[in-house]
Structure 1
Amino acid sequence: MPHAQHAVPPADNDIDAWAPDSWRTRRALQLPQYPDLAALAAVQDELRALPPLVTSWEIQSLKQQLADAQEGSRFLLQGGDCAETFAECNSSVISNRLKVLLQMSLVLVHGLKLPVVRVGRFAGQYAKPRSADTETIGDTTLPSYRGDMVNAPEFTAAARTPDPRRMVKAHARSAMTMNFVRALIDGGFADLHHPEYWDLGWVGQAPLAHEYQRMVGAIGDAVRFMETLTGSQVHNINRVDFYTSHEALLLPYEEAQTRQVPRQHGWFNLGTHYPWIGMRTAAMDGAHVEYFRGIRNPVAIKIGPSVAPDQLLRLVDVLNPDDEPGKLAFIHRMGATAIADKLPPLLEAIRREGRRVLWVCDPMHGNTEATANGYKTRRFDNIRGELEQAFDVHAAAGTRLGGVHLELTGENVTECLGGARELTELDLQRDYRSTVDPRLNYEQALEIAMLIVRKRGEIAAD
């Protein structure tokens, strides 16, 4: 059935008028002010000459898996750090982050009886939006810290001045991260014969450890049973597909990663498999939407409680005019107190028009608050509450929640309140490491995975 267009200017649908730098004709929010534009251009030229971080066939494979998630035959797990730092590009941090995502995906595969699309928020998540362009301490005002790709967090003029050379450092560290992740997976790190290898040492006594170990044992028994029955090794369980994603915020960097590929039409962002636009930069007439409409990667848009149905439909018309399966996702982040009122009209608008999008829940960003002692945190009860409501709202609307988007880490941090160990405000000062947003630790992330399984089971039983 043909879908209606929603007052989109003709030029917005003219892909022939698009180029990797056409975003420069639009208003660009959340971009730093580089003091030396010649140095910025030279860095872009350097980046264009470097090898790509991902391939077009990996991107196309992910798009097909996301199309499956739209139809309910897969489930998307997207997670990782709020913002990567150059200092944490080391084997321990990367392997622990991978372990958490593998363990969560194991819980989901076992409980949902579905393949899981594994997407990490890493290998490029080095830039972050900020609520203000500057920060003032005492009598000194400096540019805000916008992530290691842009500047440094120390409150000095030298550290806070945007430096384009940091984009080259970010590309190198993204390549190192991807190289290590690929080597781990190709070497059998994700082998279902040995999921016990994914354990994190510090969680041996965690409240959920016993339940997880029971699940690991059941999967191991099932694999061994199948191999005994068939007389041969079960194939394709010694490795998994793993994809990268980041907020494509710093458009000069993304432009330099955008390339044409032999025997493929159009343009691909080869700096990541799965870029997304944050809520602050999702304006229809903005530079980020203009950039995103021209790339062939699957793309996602964060949407909050202020988004209107007509605005959402116009975004669909511009970013996925051909209604391509797997192309477009909306990541809703409404907050636990707003989702029941704000999400249903958006779901109804998309359902009524018959458009194909992947709905994903980000239960983190709408639930951020500050404590009396000055820490930025999130309450696990609110995170859990928004996620549970998301399943209920989608079920009532006749739509499908096809994935989750989480900020998490494999480190033993104390950044989000509550969870299995009931972290309190006093616990925040014990091990709060994030430079931007609070993240779920391992226990809290695993608890979310088990919650998803339980809630999906309840919805299916109704």
Structure 2
Amino acid sequence: MNALDDAGWQPWDWQQRVAAQQPEWPDPEALDAVIKELAQRPALVVAKDVDRLRAALARAARGRAFVLQAGDCAESFHDHSASSLRAKLKIILQMAVVLTYSSGVSVVKIGRIAGQFAKPRSAPVEVVDGATLPSFRGHIVHDDAPTLDARRPNPERLLWAYDQSRATVSVLRALTEGGFADLSGAHRWNLDFVASSPEGQRYQAIADGVDRALRFMAGCGIDLEREAVLHQVNVWTSHEALLLPYEAALTRRDPASQRYYDLSAHMVWVGERTRQLDGAHLRFASGIANPVGLKVGPTMEPDTLVEACRILDPDRTPGRLVLISRMGHDAVRDRLGGLVEAVREAGYPVVWLCDPMHGNTFVSQSGYKTRRFEDVMDEIAGFFEVHRRLGTHAGGIHLELTGEDVTECLGGSEAVLESELCRAYDTICDPRLNARQSLDLAFRVAELLIR
């Protein structure tokens, strides 16, 4: 029986399994009250849009589209302004235009946005300025300030995360449907601090080419005003389904199909630290009708991955399952191929994405957690090499980035030096590519797509 229609699955039966990476909530009754309120609140997305994303991902599974999944490492309660969201959307739109214009491949745009508030951690405690504190697990759990009181889990923050996510979805819809994303205005997407850079100038040339193409179409008698694809774009929402009480509270049964949807986002994924075959996270993800991602690290064995695919996609439905490899640039060429072959031989029509960020993190001599741009690009190149060798499809990339002028990752064509990390190191968790680095990466990925 299809797990999506399995009458035995319920949104809360994950509680019968071990749930990794959950906060120790100090007041269970307060948590229960918050969950009951969340369950009564409106869904953040609608089921038909989730189905539309699954159809788009099915095209990617067949090699007919490329996925760009990108956004913040962890969204912040401190910065959720409309201007910040516009900057983030601009760089995603720019990258998509570069990829499509340069390669001719359509791009499925998915944001790490409107719900990416929780973070798994490798250790339960961390040392900040000599003090041992509970590790920061995201603003949906507690504050990032380095005090014991700030790090105490507060279930009210689940409601705050919902409120911010709902506002973000509203602004995102207004921008993507209200003319901001109109392809004829591609020049306007160039961020001020990027425009004068080599990447910005290369992008400007593409925007000029788009203008010429639109004028040509108009000259041929095509009514551009009626071509909705030129005026609106779909940017889907996604986040890691880490805090299962939040996800379950926003899971609803669709009256038409009778299937359960996690309506906190269009897509959710299960992380490297919560992908236990008998664990709560895979159990929860197995029963929702959303597209589901699974992070795949270098310790994953082929048999384990195939079994995870069976749990998450028993009917082998294109667009259902997205495998997000996060190997590290020094392991991707050795470890990825066997996993890809095992999944192919088992007949699962997955979308393979490359997360080149998480396997390439290190602490600089100055004490900042960072990543090297060239390591990021080398992992992406290795990802393409493996798929090219096996004759499979390199389906997309999964990035942590921002539209702001931050200095968190080293390198890029206008290199961020280690001595500059302190200038604008603004992330509340992991380092992100800035807009120049992101655009530079898009041009280089486009070259890989057309080889």
- TM-score scaled by structure 2? 0.97
- Give the conservation status (yes or no) of the 8 Å contact 1:100–1:442: yes
Asked whether 1:87 is paired with 2:78, we answer yes
Quick one: which amino acid aligns to residue 35 of structure 2?
A: Q
User: Where does 1:177-196 land on structure 2 (aligned, <5 Å)?
Assistant: 177-196=168-187
| Residue in 2 that maps onto 1:100 | 91
Quick one: which amino acid aligns to residue 434 of structure 1?
A: T
CA spacing shift, 1:221–1:316, aligned 2, 3 Å: same
Shift of 1:352: 1.6
| Residue in 1 that maps onto 2:242 | 249
What is the rounded CA distance, in whole Å, between the counterparts of 2:91 and 2:3 in structure 1?
40
User: Where does 1:6-405 land on structure 2 (aligned, <5 Å)?
Assistant: 15-137=6-128, 140-230=131-221, 232-233=223-224, 235-236=227-228, 237-405=230-398
What is the rounded CA distance, in whole Å, between the counterparts of 1:13 and 1:230 in structure 2?
46
What is the rounded CA distance, in whole Å, between the counterparts of 1:199 and 1:262 in structure 2?
43
Quick one: which amino acid aligns to residue 420 of structure 1?
A: S
What is the rounded CA distance, in whole Å, between the counterparts of 1:376 and 1:134 in structure 2?
16
Shift of 1:434: 0.7
- Give the conservation status (yes or no) of the 8 Å contact 2:4–2:260: no
Write the deviation string for residues 314-341 of structure 1: whole angstroms up to 9, x where unpaired: 0011000011110001000101100111
Q: Percent identity?
A: 44
| Residue in 2 that maps onto 1:5 | none
Write the deviation string for residues 267-325 of structure 1: whole angstroms up to 9, x where unpaired: 00000001001100011011100100010000000010000000000001100001111
What is the rounded CA distance, in whole Å, between the counterparts of 1:328 and 1:389 in structure 2?
22
SS in 1 for 2:95: helix
SS in 2 for 1:163: coil
SS in 2 for 1:167: helix
Quick one: which amino acid aligns to residue 320 of structure 1?
A: D
What is the rounded CA distance, in whole Å, between the counterparts of 1:176 and 1:258 in structure 2?
19
Higher mean displacement: 13-22 or 114-123: 13-22
Shift of 1:231: 5.1
SS in 1 for 2:115: coil
Any gaps of 5 or more consecutive residues in structure 2?
Answer: none
- Give the conservation status (yes or no) of the 8 Å contact 2:4–2:287: no
What is the rounded CA distance, in whole Å, between the counterparts of 2:404 and 2:218 in structure 1?
35
What is the rounded CA distance, in whole Å, between the counterparts of 1:443 and 1:195 in structure 2?
16
CA spacing shift, 1:140–1:219, aligned 2, 3 Å: closer
SS in 2 for 1:157: coil
What is the rounded CA distance, in whole Å, between the counterparts of 2:388 and 2:192 in structure 1?
38
Match of 2:445 among 440, 446, 452: 452
- Computed over aligned residues only, the root mean square deviation of the Cα atoms, in angstroms, reads 1.5
CA spacing shift, 1:378–1:229, aligned 2, 3 Å: same
- Give the conservation status (yes or no) of the 8 Å contact 1:13–1:321: no
Higher mean displacement: 132-141 or 26-35: 132-141
- Give the conservation status (yes or no) of the 8 Å contact 1:79–1:407: yes
What is the rounded CA distance, in whole Å, between the counterparts of 1:213 and 1:270 in structure 2?
38
Quick one: which amino acid aligns to residue 44 of structure 1?
A: I
Any gaps of 5 or more consecutive residues in structure 1?
Answer: 1-9
What is the rounded CA distance, in whole Å, between the counterparts of 1:409 and 1:66 in structure 2?
24
What is the rounded CA distance, in whole Å, between the counterparts of 1:119 and 1:338 in structure 2?
26
Shift of 1:172: 0.3
Quick one: which amino acid aligns to residue 216 of structure 2?
A: F
- Give the conservation status (yes or no) of the 8 Å contact 1:11–1:17: no
- Give the conservation status (yes or no) of the 8 Å contact 1:185–1:240: yes
CA spacing shift, 1:111–1:11, aligned 2, 3 Å: closer
SS in 2 for 1:280: coil
SS in 1 for 2:395: strand
- Give the conservation status (yes or no) of the 8 Å contact 2:406–2:425: yes
What is the rounded CA distance, in whole Å, between the counterparts of 1:390 and 1:106 in structure 2?
22
- Give the conservation status (yes or no) of the 8 Å contact 1:13–1:318: no
What is the rounded CA distance, in whole Å, between the counterparts of 1:370 and 1:156 in structure 2?
22
Quick one: which amino acid aligns to residue 51 of structure 2?
A: Q
What is the rounded CA distance, in whole Å, between the counterparts of 2:201 and 2:19 in structure 1?
50
- Give the conservation status (yes or no) of the 8 Å contact 2:251–2:260: yes
Higher mean displacement: 160-169 or 420-429: 420-429
SS in 1 for 2:126: strand
Shift of 1:15: 2.7
Quick one: which amino acid aligns to residue 268 of structure 1?
A: Y
What is the rounded CA distance, in whole Å, between the counterparts of 1:137 and 1:87 in structure 2?
20
Shift of 1:424: 1.1
Quick one: which amino acid aligns to residue 140 of structure 2?
A: M
SS in 2 for 1:369: strand
- Give the conservation status (yes or no) of the 8 Å contact 1:119–1:242: yes
SS in 1 for 2:89: helix
Divergent runs of 4+, >3 A = 10-14, 136-142
What is the rounded CA distance, in whole Å, between the counterparts of 1:208 and 1:355 in structure 2?
38
What is the rounded CA distance, in whole Å, between the counterparts of 2:266 and 2:5 in structure 1?
24
SS in 2 for 1:135: strand
- Give the conservation status (yes or no) of the 8 Å contact 1:150–1:167: yes
CA spacing shift, 1:134–1:12, aligned 2, 3 Å: farther
- Give the conservation status (yes or no) of the 8 Å contact 2:67–2:108: yes
What is the rounded CA distance, in whole Å, between the counterparts of 2:304 and 2:200 in structure 1?
44
Higher mean displacement: 75-84 or 155-164: 155-164
SS in 1 for 2:398: strand
SS in 2 for 1:300: strand
